[in-house]
Structure 1
Amino acid sequence: MNYNIRKADLKDLDTTAALFNAYRIFYRQADDYEKCKNFIQERLNNEQSHIFVVYADDKAVGFVQLYKLYHYIKLQKQWLLSDLFVHTDYRGKGLSVALIDRAKQLCDETGACGLMLETEKTNDIGNTLYPRCGFEYDSNHNYYYWWK
């Protein structure tokens, strides 16, 4: 399958927002394209994340979004692989792996020590994909959330 991956900018806002909305729906969130569009626009306007979109068959079919963090042990920048999504019609074709590889390339380009991510325990696809892509499972830590 022929594909290409491009870094998203504001001219890709509608396409990226549609993918982000589909991703959120996959995670059982309400369909809300306008909120997604505003969210992505704010990330891009403020350079708060890097978003890479994969195109296949001349249409956007997936994306990865990364946020900058800092690792307290390595004392270096790292990237949080926050969001990864490929449209269901294009899964199983290596596009998720290609997006992860692009995220790893961003680490090289920015001198970051690596990537970290979190996914639901029930995400069978992700929990199979990430170890195949060289990620190690950290069973020593629990993740906690505080929501205002």
Structure 2
Amino acid sequence: MLTLSVVTEADLPELMPLMRGYCDFYRVDPADDQLAAMSRSLIAQPQEGLQLIARDADATAVGFATIFWTWQTLYAARVGVLNDLYVAPGFRGGGAGRELIAAGLQRCRERGAAKLVWETAPDNVVAQRLYDALGAEKSTWLTYELDAG
């Protein structure tokens, strides 16, 4: 049985290794203090977003999701952006990813957001199988980015 909750300051020691695992999976290396600062910012400013943490029956943190709130002109509505979804390798396939997405969708409904949207790497076929099984629609949009610094 999994339990999900919104991340608080007390969850940060268990959340940080999951966030590092997520970053390692995507081969990026932001500093730990930057990751913690992002989490603390969301705790302090929930109007910007939130993080959910999933725990197993032994209360072990097994996964997390980060959702940011924004608007989408093409839908003329608020949306939740599922920016991060990660389940620790030893716990994959146990329903944590599915439950984190469901909880994110519920938070969208509570905030009046019309959609939950996200992206994944083209080669992350394991995650894509989950998304397809949930009935999520693939987008035809390409993602671009520029460094601001």
TM-score by length of 2: 0.89
CA contact (8 A) 1:18 1:33 kept: no
SS of the equivalent of 2:94 reads coil
Map residues 34-73 of structure 1 onto 2, 5 A cutoff. Answer: 34-47=33-46, 48-56=48-56, 57-73=58-74
> Which consecutive residues of structure 1, in runs of 5 or more, have no partner in the other structure?
none
CA contact (8 A) 1:21 1:32 kept: no
Cα 1:111/1:31, change in 2 over 3 Å: closer
Deviations 1:39-78 (Å, cap 9, x if unpaired)?
3222322333211100012211101100011121332111
Residue aligning to 1:142: 142
SS of the equivalent of 1:142 reads coil
Task: Name the % identity.
Answer: 24
**How far is 1:10 from its partner?**
1.8
> Which consecutive residues of structure 2, in runs of 5 or more, have no partner in the other structure?
none
CA distance in 1, matches of 2:144, 2:123: 17
CA contact (8 A) 1:55 1:61 kept: yes
SS of the equivalent of 2:66 reads strand
CA contact (8 A) 2:42 2:51 kept: no
What count of residue pairs does the alignment treat as equivalent? 146
Residue aligning to 2:7: 8
CA distance in 2, matches of 1:10, 1:92: 28
CA distance in 1, matches of 2:28, 2:75: 35
Q: Structure 1 residues 12-21 or 110-119, which shifts more?
A: 12-21
The root-mean-square deviation of aligned C-alpha atoms, in Å, is 1.6
CA distance in 1, matches of 2:100, 2:41: 22
Cα 1:71/1:20, change in 2 over 3 Å: same
SS of the equivalent of 2:70 reads strand
CA distance in 1, matches of 2:50, 2:28: 22
**How far is 1:18 from its partner?**
2.3
Letter paired with 1:43: L
SS of the equivalent of 1:138 reads coil
Letter paired with 1:109: E
**How far is 1:32 from its partner?**
4.1
**How far is 1:112 from its partner?**
0.8
Residue aligning to 1:131: 132
**How far is 1:122 from its partner?**
1.0
SS of the equivalent of 2:14 reads helix
Residue aligning to 1:101: 102
